[in-house]
Structure 1
Amino acid sequence: MSKLSVIIPAAGSGVRMGSDIPKPFLKVGGRTILEHTISRFLEVPELTEIIIATSKDHISDIHSMFERISGDVILKVVEGGSKRQFSIYNALKEISDEATLVGVHDAVRPFIRPKLIIKCCNIAEEYGGAVLGVPAKDTIKQVDDKNVIKETPDRSFLWQAQTPQVFQKKLLRKAYESALESDFIGTDDASLVERIGGKVQMVEGDRENLKITYPVDLKIAELILGTGQ
C-alpha cells in the first residue's frame, strides 16, 4: 500500500454537546477523544504523517498532546479555517511529498478500526477514492421547504457516509482547488471529488464508528470503552 497522510479537522465547537470545551478535547476513558482517534491511525503501518487542523486557541494543547504520543509518525498542526472545508484545505498544503494517499477523518470518530482504514486505502489506490459508510437503516424522506414529503427514496441504494474518506493525493488536491475557484462548499470531501468526475467507491464499515456529537454519544463512547456505569 502507498504511504498515507491523514488530515484530522479538529476546529469545531462543543455547542451541540452543551460544553464550553470543543468536542475533540473532551475526555472519555482518561484520554481526550482526539487522542483516542489518533491512536487508531498509529496502528496503520503505512501511515507517514498526521496533520491536525484546529483553532488558534488549541494549537498549543495539541502540541502538548503529541508529546504524550509515541511513534515514528510525523505530527503537524495547522490553524483551521472558518469552515471544515477551509481547515482541510489548509492542511492539504502541508502534506509531504512522500504520501500518495490522503485520508480525512473526523476528530470525534475515535472507534475507527485500523483494518477498515487499510481497506479504504487499498480501494482508493485502485479507484481514486474510498468512503467508509454503512447502509441506511431508517426510511429516508425527501421534503420541500415546508417539510411536506415529496419522495421516499429506495433505501437499498442509500448509505450513511462516515470517515475516513481516502483519496489519491493529486485527485483530492484537484478537487479542492476546483471548489475554491468556484466558491463551492461541499457536504464532505467525497462531494468535491464527485463534482470533478472522480470515482469514489463506498466501503462498508460498522456502526461502532460513531461520531460523538451529542451528550448521548459520549455515554455510548464510555460504554464502548468499558468506563460507563
Structure 2
Amino acid sequence: MTTKTLIIPAAGAGSRMQKEIPKPFIELGDCTILEQTIRRFLSLEGLQQVVVATSESFLGRGRDILDEVIPPQMQGLCITGGETRQESIYNALQKVSAIDLVMVHDAVRPFVKLQHIQNCCNAAEQYGGAVLGVPAKDTIKRIDDQQEIKETPSRQYLWQTQTPQVFQKDLLVWAYQKAMEDGFTGTDDSSLVERLNETVKMVEGDRSNFKITYPLDLELAELLIKESE
C-alpha cells in the first residue's frame, strides 16, 4: 500500500473575500472550510499524516480542527506557515514522515472528489508527479505590458490547474530545496518540479473542485453544502 501525507497551506489572508479572518477558517455549513476540505481526504487509502500550515495567530484553531477530524491512527500537525505559499509548504515538508507520496491541496477547495484524488495519486506513483486540472473553456489571450494582444494560444493544449498536486516525496523535497537555493518562486508546486525537467502528468478532474476566492464563490459553496444535506 502506498503511504501518503496531505499538506494543506492555510496561512493566506481573506482580503479578496472581504472577511477579517483567513478564508480556511470561514464557516461553511456546520464547520469551517478547512474542515470540509480535510474530510474529503480522510477515507483515502494509505493516508497517514495531515500537515496544516497556517498563521501563528490561528495555530490554536487549526489544532482544534485537526483534533476534531483526524482519526486516532493518523497523525495531524498544525505548524506555522511562511509569508508565501511556497514557504508554508517548505515548512510543512520538514515535518513529513517517511512516506511515499505527498499531496498538496488548497485549503479552500472543499469539493474535490475522492476518485479524482486517487487518480492523481495513481499517476504520481507511476510518473513521479501529477496534478488535477480541467481543460480551459475560455479563449486565452497572451498580452504585452501595454495590454495589447500578441497571441491566441490553441485551447487544445491549455488546462486550468487545480489541486491536489501529488508527488513522490523525494522528488518534491528536492524540487523545494533547489528552488530555495536558486531563489526561485513558482506559482504552484508543479512549476518547481517542471524546472528540474521531471515528468508531471495532468489528470482530469471536474469544475466542482473550484477554489473559494471571492464572495460569490462562498455563496455557491453554501448552496452546494445545502444541496448535499
Which TM-score bucket, shorter chain as reference? over 0.9
Q: How does 1:50-129 map to 2 (within 5 A)?
A: 50-71=50-71, 72-97=73-98, 99-129=99-129
Rounded Cα–Cα distance in structure 1 between residues aligned with 2:122 and 2:85 = 25
Equivalence for 1:168: 168
For residue 97 of structure 2, give the secondary structure of its aligned residue in structure 1: coil
TM-score with structure 1 setting the length: 0.97
Per-residue deviation, 1:107? 0.2
Per-residue deviation, 1:45? 1.8
Q: Provide the aligned C-alpha RMSD in A.
A: 1.1
Equivalence for 2:205: 205
- Percent of paired sites with the same residue: 55
Rounded Cα–Cα distance in structure 2 between residues aligned with 1:226 and 1:206 = 20
Runs of 4+ in 1 over 3 A off after TM superposition: none
Q: Any idea what the Cα deviations from partners look like across 1:155-181, whole Å, max 9, x if unmatched?
A: 111000000000000100110011000
For residue 196 of structure 1, give the secondary structure of its aligned residue in structure 2: coil
Distance 1:223 1:156, change over 3 A: same
Q: How does 1:146-225 map to 2 (within 5 A)?
A: 146-225=146-225
Is the 2:132–2:165 contact (alpha carbons within 8 Å) kept by the matching residues of 1? yes
Is the 1:165–1:190 contact (alpha carbons within 8 Å) kept by the matching residues of 2? yes
Rounded Cα–Cα distance in structure 1 between residues aligned with 2:68 and 2:109 = 20
Report which stretch shifted further, 218-227 or 102-111.
Answer: 218-227
Is the 1:42–1:73 contact (alpha carbons within 8 Å) kept by the matching residues of 2? no
Gaps of 5+ in 1: none
Equivalence for 1:39: 39
For residue 61 of structure 1, give the secondary structure of its aligned residue in structure 2: helix
Rounded Cα–Cα distance in structure 2 between residues aligned with 1:33 and 1:139 = 31
For residue 226 of structure 1, give the secondary structure of its aligned residue in structure 2: helix
For residue 40 of structure 2, give the secondary structure of its aligned residue in structure 1: helix
Equivalence for 1:16: 16
Q: In the alignment, residue 166 of structure 2 is paired with which amino acid?
A: V
Rounded Cα–Cα distance in structure 1 between residues aligned with 2:8 and 2:225 = 21
Rounded Cα–Cα distance in structure 1 between residues aligned with 2:77 and 2:32 = 18
TM-score with structure 2 setting the length: 0.97
Q: In the alignment, residue 84 of structure 2 is paired with which amino acid?
A: K
Per-residue deviation, 1:227? 6.1
For residue 212 of structure 2, give the secondary structure of its aligned residue in structure 1: coil
Equivalence for 2:2: 2
Rounded Cα–Cα distance in structure 2 between residues aligned with 1:221 and 1:8 = 19
Per-residue deviation, 1:67? 2.4
Q: In the alignment, residue 103 of structure 2 is paired with which amino acid?
A: G
Distance 1:20 1:188, change over 3 A: same
Rounded Cα–Cα distance in structure 2 between residues aligned with 1:127 and 1:182 = 25
For residue 68 of structure 1, give the secondary structure of its aligned residue in structure 2: helix
